[in-house]
Amino acid sequence: MKIIMLAALVSLAATTGTAFAQSAPASNNAQVAQAAGTADQNGQWVPPDAQPLAGKTRAQVYQELVQSEQDGQLAYLNRTIYAHH
């Protein structure tokens, strides 16, 4: 009985693994991305509403860090989300 169960488990695992191993050709992926409008000319991701995101400077990121430290957001995240690490 154990041999039959083991054989069934192995065959199930073998067929499941091959089902997820398939991939689409590279040319098909590029066509899908262009058709969906999710990639611009240099391969960067663009949000679905087609408004490109503006990047932040180091000074802007640092200012946001300082502000989050001052208003307690950083301490709150450290106590709640990152407390388990």
CA distance linking residue 39 with residue 43, whole number of Å: 5
CA distance linking residue 29 with residue 52, whole number of Å: 21
Structure tokens at 46: 């663009």
CB 45 within 8 A of CB 38: yes
| pTM tops 0.75 | no
Q: What are the boundaries of each domain within the chain?
A: 54-85
| pLDDT by position in tens, the chain (length 85) | 788 888 888 887 777 765 555 565 555 555 555 555 544 467 777 677 877 778 899 999 999 999 999 999 999 999 999 887 6
End-to-end CA distance of the chain, in Å?
Answer: 45
